[in-house]
Amino acid sequence: MLRDRAAWWIFAGTTLHALLDTTYQINERLSYGRRINGWQVLFDELVASWAAGLLYYLLLPVLRRHRFTVHRWRQVLPVQAVLLLGYSAVHTGLMWLGRTPLYPLFGWGQYNYGALPERALMEFSADLIGYVSVLAVLHAVWLYQETREQQLENLLLQLQPHFIFNSLNAISTVVYEDPRRADLMITQLSELLRRTLKATAATVSLAEELETLELYLDMMQTRFEDQLTVELDIGPEARGARVPAFLLQPLVENVIKHGADPVTGQRFVRVEARQREGRLYLAVSDQGPGSSGREDGVGLSNTRRRLEQIYGGAHHFSAGNSADGGFLCRIDLPCAS
């Protein structure tokens, strides 16, 4: 997926470069009153730019492996110098190979590449500028990606101690009145923590996320017994969609913690998921007393920030009182599988 996106960006960038360079070449020659074949110039520039784009695409993994850092730049510099020389040599060869057989077909005669040593030196000076520019852009992109990933990891790490503290607090409320239930909750918490700590992917399938959620719900069911009712309404088409790991648990925890009926103490949790027209729609709701400032809690604010980091403007998240009473969280995400 990422390589496909990179390919499109490289293709678009090199094509734009070819068009801009063509405009420059044509206007530069016209300013001297020279006759010029615009199509021939465009062809030359497209061959040069697309050949460069192909090489950059193939070199991406190597360039990232040998990227410059504060502590490694001395070791990386010779490697990058060798890569630059190899890139320029192959790029020069690809330009000759792309133009020579096609010139006669277009009626432009034989392609004259000039004296090879001088031509190679000329192309190297241009390739040096292009290579350094592309490397600078790539380093900026990689730094942005790593910063974003670190922010997401920090947000997830913020959730885990919050979740553990709340779970231990829930166990402490029953440890004296019903040690058997407390012991079972500790076992269930251990299983949930084992699964959570083993997870390394930033996103999981909705089916996997529901398995994690059900471990948490088992623990809450043990604590509240008949006072907790859970409904899971999951469309089968939605189970393969990718979602951020640990997305639903904070929302459900918020419902269970704040959504109790003030008179009976009954708690109701409903989780819905549907996939339609390339979008994933999630909803978590209760039948409790409603908002009372719950939107600013750790779980909801953390979820809001994680979704913003991952999806930007491509998602929608809302939390507040529902028309039917109770509290409702809605999430609308681009669907990836």
Q: Give the mean pLDDT per block of 10 residues along the chain (337 residues).
A: 74 94 91 88 94 94 90 91 95 93 92 82 91 91 78 62 76 83 86 74 88 89 90 94 90 87 89 93 88 67 87 90 85 84
Q: Name the CATH superfamily for 178-334.
A: Histidine kinase-like ATPase, C-terminal domain (3.30.565.10)
In this structure, are residues 49 and 20 in contact, taking their beta carbons and an 8 Å threshold?
A: no
Entry pTM = 0.60
pLDDT at 205: 93
CATH 3.30.565.10 residue ranges for the chain: 178-334
Q: How far is Cα 87 from Cα 129, in angstroms, rounded to an integer?
A: 12
In this structure, are residues 306 and 317 in contact, taking their beta carbons and an 8 Å threshold?
A: no
pLDDT at 162: 67
Token pair for residue 295? 């939107």
- Side chain identity at residue 29, one-letter code: R
Nearest to 92 by CA among 64, 133, 51: 51
Contacts 24+ apart (CB under 8 A), 295-301: 295/319, 295/320, 297/254, 298/158, 298/159, 298/162, 298/250, 299/159, 299/162, 299/250, 299/251, 299/253, 299/254, 300/250, 300/251, 300/254, 300/329
- Side chain identity at residue 194, one-letter code: R
pLDDT at 71: 84
pLDDT at 293: 58
pLDDT at 191: 83
Token pair for residue 263? 């008179």
DSSP 179-245: HHHHHHHHHHHHHHHHHHHH---SEEEHHHHHHHHHHHHHHHHHHHGGGEEEEEEE-GGGTTSEEET
pLDDT at 88: 94
pLDDT at 321: 87
pLDDT at 17: 93
Q: How far is Cα 288 from Cα 33, in angstroms, rounded to an integer?
A: 81
